[in-house]
Amino acid sequence: MSGPRPARLWLVAGTGTDVGKTWAGCELARLASARGLKVAARKTAQSFAPGELGLDAQRLGEATGESPGRVCPEHRWYPVAMAPPLAAAALGMAPFGLAQLLAEVDWPSPGVDVGLVEQAGGTGSPQASDGDGVDMARLLAPDAVVLVARSGLGTLSDVSLARRALAGEAGIGPERLVVFLNRFDPGDALHAANRDWLSGVLGLQVATGTDGLIEALLQ
């Protein structure tokens, strides 16, 4: 990474693809900015279907007032709907490693109060040719990890596997992990039971709305 490390560095991870990481990151950026904090967001690489609109870097840039090319370097935009290293290979482009990706993360100078880094896909998804989301968390050493998950069926297994990997391989203990149950419906018995199991049985910090999420991260 170049530039001063943010005062707070948050990694936005997910239990899988399309769980709402970018939406959650944008909301966190807006909520933190509303509290007078200077926020920057970064995505080390993004892959997408040709012609897709509203790319992650564009949405994060809108939320933070940065250009999409600053959020994610344009040479890391891969127009193939695969994990970034697979997309690069499909396009005949050179492979890249995690250290290379993280070295390209450029924070503003003077520094920012909150720096958000959003992963591609889930914690087990390849981020580079030599590592996945857990490996990235280990190298990045964030102050907190936001693990975005679905609220319904299957999320207990997804979250449990992700938190074990993050703890065992990246050293992210429960004090640095906040699970965000996206699209949580308090009137849904399954959603409520999942929340209670994650917090009561597994002892995890769980947020079911973005106001609670920002509070957990700033405490």
Cite the active site residues: 43
Going from the C-alpha of 1 to that of each of 26, 79, 104, 140, 148, the distances in angstroms are 22, 25, 6, 9, 24
Which tokens go with 36? 């007078």
- A 10 A CB-CB count for 112 gives 23
- DSSP assignment string, 3-43: SPPPSEEEEEEESSTTSSHHHHHHHHHHHHHHTT--EEEEE
Listed residue (159, 174, 185, 154) closest to 216, CA to CA: 174
Q: How far apart are CA 68 and CA 179, in angstroms?
A: 27
Residue 2 has what DSSP assignment? B
Listed residue (141, 153, 159) closest to 16, CA to CA: 159
Q: Which amino acid is at 147?
A: L
Residues 198, 167, 113, 77, CA torsion sign: negative
